[in-house]
A = this chain, B = another copy of it.
Amino acid sequence: MSISVIGTYHSKFGALEDTIYDLILNAGRGAMKDSGLEADAIGAVFLGNFSAGQFVNQEHLGAMVVDIDPGLRFKPSTRLENACASGSAAIEMASYALEAGEIDYALVIGAEKMTSLDTRGVTHALATASYWPDEGANGMTFPGLFAEFAKGYMKHYDYSLEMMRNTFAQISAKNHTNAVENPLAHMPMSITAEKILGKEDRKNPIIADPLRLFDCSLVSDGAAALVLTKTENALKIKDDVVEISAMGHTTDYLSLVSGKRADYELTAGKLAIQKAYAKAGITVDDLDFAEVHDCFTINELLAYEAMGIKEGGMGHLALEEGIVFRDGKLPVNLSGGLKAKGHPVGTTGVSMAVLATRQLLGKAVGIQKKDAETGLTFNVGGSSASCYASVYKRIK
């Protein structure tokens, strides 16, 4: 894989006035403008979106891109969906088209409008990313599914609730605090783990035992976009180039409650990351930062282990040793992550790509890691059934 990013766009995340159409049009125009390309140059468009059908009665979003610019009329455009990893699906398909030589430039957009529905509606829509007959239809929600991971992890490693809550609170506090410097974040908040742990129940209620409010990511609107081209072309036309050096994509059983896969580790996620490392020729020690899928704090903890920062059951040491904090060796979610930056689900994979690119260009959205050369993004769909790991490198 030798695909590079030559244009980026990232909207504010939050409860926005923008419609899904506004989000898509602004994202497409923003990334093209940043790339310096005219629409005529774009070979095809790839749009990641989880469920505008349920959120705003709009499927077939691929064709919406013609309204971005008349120059896009008659170009191929496709909508990709893999739950909360829909944005990564769009990047992967764009990469295939570029590598195949079918197109020279791809416009990739991730967009989601979620706050159009009330909490009940959003919870239902998200639950359709689980295996509906055994999970959603039985009342299982996404907090509930990730609570299964939290309980499975506690049981497998024989950890106490107190120990888990302490770990989760550190992740939550880190991400909320990192987001303070991110002007596009949904919920920046300067807060400590102690303060989260000390909150009264009514201010940090249990959502799905043992997960509490401060363990859950946000329901957000937002969009992000990229212009991609082959690295050899990017090197010719750009002074600064960030490459997507490798992408690992794996799929596990859709159902978590079936028991067909582990509930104490991200089996498929670990494999996706290992594939990405191998393709990029790096190890975890080469990473300068990572943006990982903290839809719930437990998933960030499991990501530490999937990444190989610490072995299974030892993820908490990544926090205790300071590794994943902003001044640590491998800061995780400098942007604030899904927890605090926000999580417009179909956008998230593209958002991570934009954040990684800008971080490597020295133009971070928020906290800048000095001299960052290599970064990882880790984006999952459903209860971590669809997993994408990507290695980004500054190559010029």
Contact = CB atoms under 8 A, between A and B. Distances in A.
Interface of A: 19, 21, 44-45, 50-51, 53-54, 56-60, 62-67, 72-83, 89, 92-93, 95-102, 124-125, 127-133, 136-137, 249-254, 268, 271, 381-382, 385-386
A251 B62 contact: yes
Given A101-B99, A251-B65, A59 B128 contact: yes
5 contacts: A53-B128, A60-B130, A63-B385, A66-B254, A80-B80
A100 B92 contact: no
Given A59-B83, A60-B382, 18 more contacts: A57-B124, A57-B127, A58-B128, A60-B128, A60-B254, A60-B385, A62-B89, A63-B82, A64-B254, A73-B253, A74-B251, A77-B82, A78-B89, A79-B80, A81-B81, A93-B96, A96-B96, A98-B100
Contacts of A98: 100
Contacts of A51: 53, 59
A293 to B, nearest CB: 14
Main secondary structure of the interface of A (DSSP, over half): mixed
Given A81-B79, A93-B78, A60 B100 contact: no
Nearest to A99: B100
A54 B132 CA distance: 12
Contact of A67 (B54, B100, B254): B254
A268 B102 CA distance: 19
Contacts of A385: 60, 63, 66
A380 B149 CA distance: 42
A92 B80 contact: no
A80 B83 contact: no
Contacts of A249: 44, 76
B99 A82 contact: no
A76 B250 contact: yes
Closest 4 CB pairs of A and B: A99-B100, A96-B96, A63-B254, A76-B249
A104 to B, nearest CB: 14
